[in-house]
Amino acid sequence: MTETPAARNHSELQAGSLTTGSLILLPDGERTAEIQAVELERDDFGSPALVLASLAGGGTLRIAVGATVTTIEPGSAAASDAVTHLSLASVPAEDASVETAPAEAAGQGHGQQQPGGEAASAAAAPAVVVPPLPPVPPAANVPSEEELALIPAPDGTPESVVEAAAQAHPDATGVQLLTDRLSKGVNFKSGSCLKDLSDLAHELFVTLKDAEGALAVADLLTVLPYDGNPGRWASVEASLALASYICRQDGQHERAAVYEKLIRTPESHETDPFKARMAAKVRQRSLNEPNLYDKEIFRSIDNSNHDAEREWRLLRLESLLFLRAHGGSETIGMGELERRISNELEAVRS
C-alpha cells in the first residue's frame, strides 16, 4: 500500500490537548479540517469527558478526551495539499462524530482535480452527523431601572418588616414561630434565613390572606440577585412567584411583570451556547412535567392525615405559582393554572 503524504507528515495527539488552529484528520481518514474553537464538556462528577471541536469549514467534532487524534504538521506539503483531509486514530464511532458543511461536501465530487492534475481516486466516506441541538435560548429580558423602581423599598429594616408582620398577627402561631427566629437578625447570606422569610410570606398570604404583609416580606427577597446557588435561589424564586401572583390579583400588572422577568434570571446565567441549549431543554421539560405531588396527596387523603395533606398541597401550590410566573407551559395553560391555584388556596385555607 502506498503511503500518503498525510501519513508521512502526521503526529498523534491526545484529544484533550487539541487547540485552536490544529489541522486534524477527520473520521473518514481522507479529509482534514482546521479547528476553529475547542470546548471541554465534563461529566456529572466534574471530570473532563468530551472535547467539542468546532471546525473552520462548519460542523462540530465530538471526541472522547482520552482518544488519540491524528494531526497534520503545519507548513507540511500534506497540509498544503489537503484542503479538508485527517483521521481519528483508534477512536470508536460512538466517541466521535462530525457534521459537515454543505459547501465542503460539494467540493468532494469524483471529477474534482487535485493540484497534480489527477482526478480524485475516491469520494470521501460519509460522516456521522451530529443530531441537531435545541436552538440557543434568547437572553433573559432583564428589567430596566425604571421597571425595578416599581418594587418599593422596604419600610424600615428587614427586622422591622418582620416585626410588623408579627404585630399584625399576634395570635397566628405559624407567623410567631417564624418571626421569633428572624427577630434575632435577618442574614441574607444564610439559606435557612431566606427559607424562613419565604415561608413567612407564604404563611401571611395563604393562611391569613394578608396579601399586603406577604408582599412586604416577599420583597425582602425579590430584589436579591441570582448568585448561582440553587438552594438559596429556591427561596427567592418562590417569593418572586408569590409576589407575581399577588400583584396580578391586585391589578398591578406592570409590577407583576417585573417579578416574572426576575424569576427568569438563571436562564441567562449560562454563557456557553452548548450548555445553554441543554439547560433550556431541561428547563422546558421541568415546566411541561412539573411535580404536583399527586401520589403524596392521595396517600394522605386515604390515611385521613389532614396535616400531611395540607403540607403536600402547599408544595403543590408553590409549583403552580412557579408555573404561572413563567406564563404556563406546553402542557398546562394559564386558564387551567388559575383554576388549579384557586382550588389549592381554597383547600389549604379550609
Asked if 224 and 211 count as a contact pair (C-beta separation under 8 A), the reply is no
Predicted local confidence at residue 21, as pLDDT: 80
Q: Where are the domains of the chain?
A: 5-106, 145-288, 294-349
Ordered per-residue pLDDT tens for the chain, 350 residues:
334 444 446 778 777 778 888 888 888 777 788 887 777 777 656 677 778 787 776 677 778 877 888 888 655 544 544 443 333 333 333 344 444 334 343 344 444 444 444 444 444 444 444 445 455 445 556 889 999 999 999 989 999 999 999 999 999 999 999 999 998 899 999 999 999 999 999 999 999 999 999 999 999 999 999 988 888 999 999 999 999 999 999 999 999 999 999 999 988 777 788 888 888 888 889 899 999 999 999 999 999 999 999 999 999 999 999 999 999 999 999 999 999 999 999 999 98
Predicted local confidence at residue 22, as pLDDT: 82
State the Cα torsion 335-338-342-344 to the nearest 10°.
Answer: 100
- The pTM assigned to this predicted structure is 0.61
Predicted local confidence at residue 326, as pLDDT: 93
Asked if 70 and 48 count as a contact pair (C-beta separation under 8 A), the reply is no
Burial class (CB in 10 A: 0-12, 13-18, 19+), 347: middle
SS (H, E, C) the chain: CCCCHHHHCEEEEEHHHCCCCCEEECCCCCCEEEEEEEEEEECCCCCEEEEEEEECCCCEEEEECCCEEEEECCCCHHHHHCCCCCEEECCCHHHCEECCCHHHHHCCCCCCECCCCCECCCCCCCCCCCCCCCCCCCCCCCCCHHHHCCCCCCCCCHHHHHHHHHHHCCCCHHHHHHHHHHCCCCCCCCHHHHHHHHHHHHHHHHHCCCHHHHHHHHHHHHCCCCCCCHHHHHHHHHHHHHHHHHHHHCCCHHHHHHHHHHCCHHHHCCCCHHHHHHHHHHHHHHHHCCCCCHHHHHHHHHCCCHHHHHHHHHHHHHHHHHHHHCCCCCCCCHHHHHHHHHHHHHHHHC
Predicted local confidence at residue 46, as pLDDT: 62
Amino acid identity of 197?
A: L
Tell me, which fold does domain 5-106 have in CATH? Answer: SH3 type barrels. (2.30.30)
Predicted local confidence at residue 149, as pLDDT: 95
Query: What angle do helix axes 173-182 and 191-202 make, rounded to 10 degrees?
Result: 150
